[in-house]
Amino acid sequence: MFMRCGKLGDAAGSVRTETALIVAELDDLALAVTLADAYVAATPRIRSNLADYLPEEAFT
């Protein structure tokens, strides 16, 4: 769902990994994932570098 709604299309493995991290960080909550999708779709800077969506501190 995130890949389609975020307008990421057929993305490479690293984008799929980042997508999985974002969805996990959002605890798979449907509304949170939908809002993240909309934000990614509307923000070209994030869409081109999905790793920028979550701050690095979230993974430490």
pLDDT in tens, 6-60: 556 656 677 888 888 888 988 989 998 888 888 888 888 888 888 888 874 455 4
The 10 Å Cβ neighbour count of residue 60 is: 5
pTM over 0.75: no
Rounded to an integer, what distance in angstroms lies between the CA atom of residue 30 and that of residue 19? 14
Q: What is the extent of the structural domain holding 28?
A: 2-59
For the chain, the domain total comes to 1
* DSSP symbol at 54: S
